Chains A and B, each alone.
Chain A
Amino acid sequence: EVQLVQSGAEVKKPGQSLKISCKGFGYSFSSYYIGWVRQMPGKGLEWMGLIYPGDSDTRYSPSFQGQVTISSDKSISTAYLQWSSLKASDTAMYYCARQDTFDIWGQGTMVTVSA
């Protein structure tokens, strides 16, 4: 079965760093884009960026450029989203999804940033 499995919920303090993951199963991970989407509490979906694991080509939304880093390790079929210094405003659900058209979604990782 094709699926994306994300890492578990995180609770962090402002200023801390964080790296969440998205592991692909059941398909050739290197051959499909992985995108990341933010959903703040009670709000809509925001496209953050994506990566092509085959060559690590990465694109960011200007809204998120410099705020997060998207990476991948194709040897373990895993994509990552990381922050170097979290803010309270990073509190949200984060989803990964496959392909440019998001045909398969992970279950989401809830990130809570609170002092």
Chain B
Amino acid sequence: DIQMTQSPSAMSASVGDRVTITCRASQGINNFLAWFQQKPGKAPKRLIYAASSLQSGVPSRFSGSGSGTEFTLTISSLQPEDFATYYCLQHNNYPRTFGQGTKVEAK
């Protein structure tokens, strides 16, 4: 199985901060990576697909980059509604695998 390692596992940030979350794959996955946001008690929501394509309706402060084994989700200016847990998902190989999640909390 491909292991997806997210870092950090948790972080504290303030409104307006630039936030960067990294996902590393144990082997190359081309650009077959998606990013999700999950708020407590809610289903996850897709933010980014194909590593860098912004889901329709998602604010442009979210962006994704990377290819191969290293990927990044960036929030350019953190907003109050962005405090949540973020997950990456690789869909290059079976079984598909999620990262363990990154919880973004208020500082």
Interface residues of A (CB under 8 A from B): 35, 37, 44-47, 49-50, 59-63, 95, 97, 100-103, 105-108
Contact = CB atoms under 8 A, between A and B. Distances in A.
Q: Chain B contact residues: over half helix, strand or loop, or mixed? A: loop
Interface residues of B, number: 22
Contacts of A50: 96
Given A95-B43, A102-B36, A62 B95 contact: yes
Contact of A44 (B49, B95, B96, B101): B101
6 contacts: A37-B44, A37-B98, A44-B99, A105-B43, A105-B45, A108-B43
B89 interface: yes
A47 B55 contact: no
B34 A102 contact: yes
Nearest to B55: A103
A59 B94 contact: yes
